[in-house]
Amino acid sequence: MSFTEFFNPLNGVAKIEFLYYLVLILSIVYTIIPNHLAKQYVEYVIVCSPYIMIPIFVIRFKNNIIYLIRKPKHETLVFPPKAYEMIGNEKISLTDPPFIMVNDKNVLAFANQKIRKIMFGRDFYNLLTDDERIFVIGHELSHFKKTEEKVVVKSIFVIICVVFALSFLHLQPSLAWSPVVAIFCISLNNSARYLERMADMSGASYVSKETAIKAIRQSYQDRPERTSQTHPAMNYRIKNLERYYSQFN
């Protein structure tokens, strides 16, 4: 993962995330502008910003948090044999049965790391053909894999948590905090998008280009322009897949 992946706002950021970039810009502006009434206002905005940035960041975990607390009813899904072979080939141990259907309109599909199963939202599942489901399974399996990139991302997360803990212990909320919070949020969101693109390529290795792109389109059904803190925008994911398949031409 390149350094620019961490700070590239062109990967399809959620609108609300521009706040993080704004805080970074304001922090620079603050150090440049001379002492003046305006400087006090900028300071006020910077000092207060973590109280807005942190909740925005936490909201991205909403679905995961809900399904950590709420145990989904096991509703067995039967897939073509290929789906079960994939789990073996990727050498990933999932609990049996590996797939669960949930009645939740907000759920498309996700890798539930806690119970080690792949969850499908009923509506999304019904939208897909068998081949598109294979793509989705390949994508989700990638989230169970341990990769170098994930180790890097987790290390950054741990380091920043330690920095946070230390600053909580020793400092009042200060000006220096806000850019740290902003960098933390930006880098973790962007690395999440990077991992999603890797997962898409993983799913793509099992199906044709048309199938993969159709499955991506299905997941953005209602709002193709939708942006999120964790996933790249639809067009960005499609471009990524086109680049992936073009290697084989």
Q: How far is the CB of 139 from Zn ion (least distance, A)?
A: 6
Cβ-proximal residues to 182 (8 Å cutoff; 6+ apart), any chain: 20, 21, 23, 24, 27, 49, 53
Residue with smaller CB distance to Zn ion, 62 or 162: 62
Starting at the edge strand found earlier in the chain, the sheet holding 117-121 runs: 99-102, 117-121, 109-112
Residue 76: DSSP 8-state: B
Q: How far is the CB of 199 from Zn ion (least distance, A)?
A: 5
Contact 24, 178 (CB under 8 A): no
Contact 138, 203 (CB under 8 A): yes
Enumerate binding residues for Zn ion (CB under 5 A).
196, 199
Q: How far is the CB of 245 from Zn ion (least distance, A)?
A: 19
Question: In the bound complex, which residue of the shown chain has the CB atom lying closest to Zn ion?
Answer: 199
Q: How far is the CB of 20 from Zn ion (least distance, A)?
A: 22
Residue with smaller CB distance to Zn ion, 50 or 121: 121
Residue with smaller CB distance to Zn ion, 33 or 151: 151
Residue with smaller CB distance to Zn ion, 23 or 137: 137
Q: How far is the CB of 128 from Zn ion (least distance, A)?
A: 15
Residue with smaller CB distance to Zn ion, 142 or 187: 142
